[in-house]
Amino acid sequence: MLCRNCNHSKPNRPRGLCWTCYYTPGVRDRFPSTSKFARRGVGDFNGKAKLPASPTQAMPGSAEKVAILEERARLKVSLWHPLDAPFDAAGRRLSIAS
């Protein structure tokens, strides 16, 4: 296996780069990490998150609801709003009327 940038030296630095390429300005940024521990995706957020701006009427498990949850995770707001549509919409009407 050779360096991913120069294809000349044996890689001995992260990202599959040789020493020279790894420390050359700008080269490291062009090659993503090959580590299984690298940060990918939205990221993990543990903390107190604010409520989303508005509830959703998308049914749990639907593709629309999954897309909304992805957007909420990206914005680092709470995934769940107290007024989101429940699995049983009739149950919501009964609990509100009580």
Residues with Cβ < 8 Å from 6, sequence gap 6 or more? 18, 20, 21
Alpha helix ranges (H) inside the chain:
19-22, 63-75, 89-97
Give tens-digit pLDDT for 6-58: 999 999 998 899 999 999 999 988 988 878 787 666 566 666 788 999 999 99
Average pLDDT over residues 59-68: 93
pLDDT for residue 44: 62
pLDDT for residue 48: 75
pTM of the model: 0.47
